[in-house]
Each structure stands twice: as structure tokens, then as C-alpha cells.
Amino acid sequence: MFKHLKSIIIIAMVALVTICGATSCKSSGKMTKKEYKAKVEQATKDLNAILDGTTEWSLEEQQARVNEIKQVDFSKKNPEIMEMIDRAEAKIAREIAERDRLAEEQRLAEEQRLRELEEQNKPKTGLTEYFNMIANAKDVNTANGYIRDALKMFESPDAVVLILLNNYGDYDRPTTAQNYLNYIKDQKKVSVIVNDVIYNSDNKIKQLELKKK
């Protein structure tokens, strides 16, 4: 009876030590050699894939994986993994910056394309229309606004304006774009038609020839 009781006590103590040991190991978060070796192999594999550009992960997923690897302290036994982590993070940062730069360039290019398309679709106002708008403006300020817009068609406010008086080649004294537009504003009428236009390389009016009606 005593012998059996002693055996039971010994078995109970062994079981208690085993349970306590297992609990202590689990609660401390320590890894077995096998687990650590597996993490080293997986970390090395994943970091090499990131550095070689052979992974299909997004840049954000790559960074998340690097952050996960950093949770394990490889500094003492595997310093080469720490060096790979630094290189991987630098590579990911460069690629994110380049991706964002290209995205910004594309955004700006698309905005420019839409602006140009909008400009192309705007109804164009010709010189004859501007002449009439200036002459028939309701007040001086409105006329001056039309003049400013019309001058955008010229290479400068001093662009030469010639006025053909008849079919014999007689011209009035040369004037400038700005002076003639102001003349129309003052006269409140248009007595000429566009006879010839010379453009510069930027498609701006360099010289304008008008003809008396």
C-alpha cells in the first residue's frame, strides 16, 4: 500500500514538472532551435525575393513582411539578415518614391491633356468678332476687356497693322494692334475687313492687313 502510494506521488510530481515546464516555455515566447531555424530560412528567402524583385507582393505588402521579420531578433546569430533588412527597406523606399513620382507626373499630364482638350472645344473668337464686340461694347470697361483678349492673338501690342485704302495699293499710315483696337473702341464702328494675316512661329499675329470696306 505504501509502495503504491509512493509511486503515485512520484508520477504526479513528474507530471507537474512537465506541465510547468511546458507552460513556462510557452509563456516566455522563446522559440525552439527548430522554430528559429525555420524563421531564418523563411526570412532569408523572403528578403532575397524582395531584393531580387521576384516577389509578386505589392510594395506595401513587402514592407509589411519586412516589419514582420524585424520582430525576430536576428542581430546576434544572423547579422547578415539585419543587413538584408536594411537593404530591403532602402529598396522599398526608393521604389515607393519613384512610384509616387510617376503617379504625380501622370496626374499632371492628364490635367494638362484635359485643359488642352477643353481649350480646343471652346468656340474660337476671330478678329472680326472681336472688332464687332469692341465696337458694340456696352461700356468702356467691357470694351477694354475685349481688347485685352484680342491682343492675345498678336505677338505683341505693337504688332504692325496696315490698312489698305483701295485696290490700287494705297495704304493708310501704319499703326499698331493696340492703337487700332482702341480706335475701334472710340469710333464704335468697324469699317474694315481682314485682308491678310502674317503669323510668327508661335502662331501669333505678327502683321495684320486690313482693307477699307
Summarize pLDDT for 115-128 with one digit per residue, the tens: 888 777 766 678 99
For position 82, what pLDDT does the model report? 96
Query: Domain segments of the chain: what residues?
Result: 31-119, 127-212
Residue pointed to by grid coordinates 487700332: 180
What does the alpha-carbon distance between residue 146 and residue 153 come to, in Å, rounded to a whole number? 12
Average pLDDT, the chain: 86
Amino acid at 170: D
Q: What is the mean pLDDT of residues 193-210?
A: 94
Question: pTM of the full predicted structure?
Answer: 0.48
CA angle (39, 45, 49) in 5-degree steps:
140
H helix or E strand, kind and range, residue 102: helix 79-121
Q: What is the mean pLDDT of residues 138-145?
A: 96
pLDDT digits (tens, 9 = 90+) for 39-68: 999 999 999 999 999 999 999 999 999 999
Spatial neighbors of 73 by CB under 8 A, at least 6 apart, are none
For position 17, what pLDDT does the model report? 38
